[in-house]
Structure 1
Amino acid sequence: MTDVVSLGSANVDRTRYLPADRIRDLETRYDWFPAAGETVRIDCSPDLPTLEAERYENVVGGKGANQAVAAARAGAEAAFFGCVGADEAEFGVLETLADRGVDVDHVAIVADRETGKAYVFVDDAGESWIAIVGGANDAVDGAYVDRHVERIRTADAVLLQNEIPVTAADRLLERLEDEPTRPTVVFNPAPAEGAGPLCSRSAVDIVVVNETEHAALEEELAAFDGTMVRTQGADDVVATGAVEYQVTPPVVEPVDTTGAGDAFCGYLAALVGAGAGLERALEAATVAGSLATEAEGVQHAIPDRETVEKVLERRPGDG
C-alpha cells in the first residue's frame, strides 16, 4: 500500500455559516479578516460580535490533518505528524483522525498549549474565509522533525503546508535534500505569507496553489523548477513544468468549499506516491476536490476512492 506522510497542522475548526452580506461586513470591519478563498494567520482568537441566526460547529480540521485524511480516503496508508494541545481529547482530535484511517502514533501532545484553532466562515454560496491561530502547531520545530525524519523519509509521498512554522518545514526539506532516495514532496503553501522561500528548496517536487496563493507567490513560483499545479475553483486545473496538463472539474453544486484544496492535495499525493502518472493523479484529485464541496465541513466531506473512480469512468473521453 502507498505510504503518505503529512507534516502539518491539526486544528479545531470553529465554523460559522453566514449570509454573504454578514461576511462582507466582517471583511470591512476587521483588518485581519481574510479574502474569499484565503487562509490567514492571526495571533490570537478574534473578538467577534454576536452574529445572529448563524449556525456554528466545532469540527476537527487543520490542513495537515485534512490532507492526511484525504490521502487515506484515496487508499493510501496515511500518517499525520504534528502537535496538538492538552485539550485535544475534549474535541476528539486524535481519536477522530484514527477513526478516519490516519496513523497518529507520532503526534506530540504539548501540555502547555491549546490545540490550534481555525475560524472558518462560509457563505450561502459555499465560499469560505479562514483565519488560523497556531496554538500547539507552533511547537512543531526542527527538533521534532529530526526525531521523526527516519520514518518520514521512507514514505512514498510527503504532504507539506504552511500552518506550522516555516523553519520546521524547511528543516525537513533540508534533510530530504541529503537523501539519495526520497519521497515525492507535494507542497501546498497555504497560508501564502512566509511560504515563498520553501518553493526554492530542491526537495519540493510539486507546488499546489489556488488563485489567491498564486497571486501572492507569483515571483517565487516563476523561479520554481518543479511542477506547479494551479486550482481555480470551478475553472480548469492547470499544471505547468516539465509537462503541462489541463483538467476540467466536474460540474457540482457547491455547499462548502472549505476542504476542496485539502481533498485535492491528499488525493494527488496518494496517486503520485503510488506511481500513477501526473495526468491521472490530477484527474482524480480534481474530481475529489470538486466532490468535497458538495457537503458541509471538511474531513467527512472528502469522497472515498470508489466514488471518485465512478465519476472518472463517466467523464467524456475516459475508458
Structure 2
Amino acid sequence: MLWFVQLAGLLHRKLPVFAGSLALLVMTLLGQGGRYHWFLDLFSHFATQYFILSILAIGLLLAKGRRGQAVLPASTACLILVFWWVGERRFVRTADTEGSKLSVLAINVLGRNHDSESVRDLIQKQDADLVMMVEINHRWDRETTSLASIYPYRFTHLRSDNFGFKVLSKHKISNKEVLHHSHLKLPSAKFKLEWQGRELLILGAHTMPAMSHSHWLARNQHLESLAEELRQAEVPAILVGDLNITPWSPVFQNIFQGFSFDFTEALQTPTWPDFMPLLWIPIDLLVATPEVSWVSRRIAEPSDIGSDHRPAYHVIKVP
C-alpha cells in the first residue's frame, strides 16, 4: 500500500508538467499535417501559444531543479523556431523601395455588430488610402454611407450572410469584378486602383472558416484561386481581407510561397478572437506580388469596435 501512495504522490507532482509538455510537442507536430486534413490544420494556427507555454514550462522546471524534464519543452520551443525560420523563408520580404506609401485598412466588422459608430470613428481616425470591410450586409452599407465624403470611390457586394464586402477608396477604382470561388461560390472583390499615376490590382476576400472537411477544401480552393489571380496579374497586386488562416499553416505557406509577405510582423499582430487574448491569432492578412515592399503592419486603434476581429493597418510601397 505504501508504494501505491508514493507512486501517486510522484505522479501528482510530475505528471502534469510532463503531460503538458508532451501535449505541446504533439500539437506542434500535428499542425504540420494541416496540408492533409482539416482537423490537423487547426493545430497549426496556435504555434505562438505553444512556444510561449514551452518557454514557461522550461523556466518552471529549471526553477524546480528538473533539468532532465526541461528537455521536452525545450525541444518543442526549438522545433517551433525551426518552423518559424523555414516559414519566413518561403516568402519574399522585399526591402523598402523608393516610392509612395499606400495604406490599407482591413476590417471584419462582424455582421451582427451594431456599433457602427466605433467603426466609422476608426476609419476616420486611421485615414487609410483603401479600406476593405467584410461581413457587410444592407444595414452596414447604410450605416457607412456617411464616409462617402472622405472616400468617394466604393465597391460594394451585399449579402444577407457573412460574406458581403465593401471597399472604400480615396483613389479612383475601375474594372470592378466579383469573383466566385470554390464549390460554395463565395465572392471576392477584384478591381484596379489608380494610384500615383499607376495601376494596382486589388483583391479583397473573406474565406470560409475551415471547421469541417468541406469548408477546409472550400477555403483552400478559394485561396488557391486568389493566388493564381496574383500570379497572372500584369501590374503590382495585393490580396487583403479575412483569410481565415494563419501564416503558421502549411496550407498558407504552400499556396503563397514566393509572394511578398511579412511573416514575423504578421505573427506579432494577431487579429482574432478579440474577446480572448490568450488565443489571439493573425487571420486578417495582406499578401502581395514580389515587387511590392513592406513598410509596416499594426493593429489599428481603437481596436475595440464591437467585432470579434481587431482591425489590421498595412503600409506598403510599390516601385
TM-score range, shorter chain: 0.3 to 0.5
In our comparison, the structure showing a higher alpha carbon Rg is 2
Normalised by the size of structure 2, how large is the TM-score?
0.34
Normalised by the size of structure 1, how large is the TM-score?
0.34
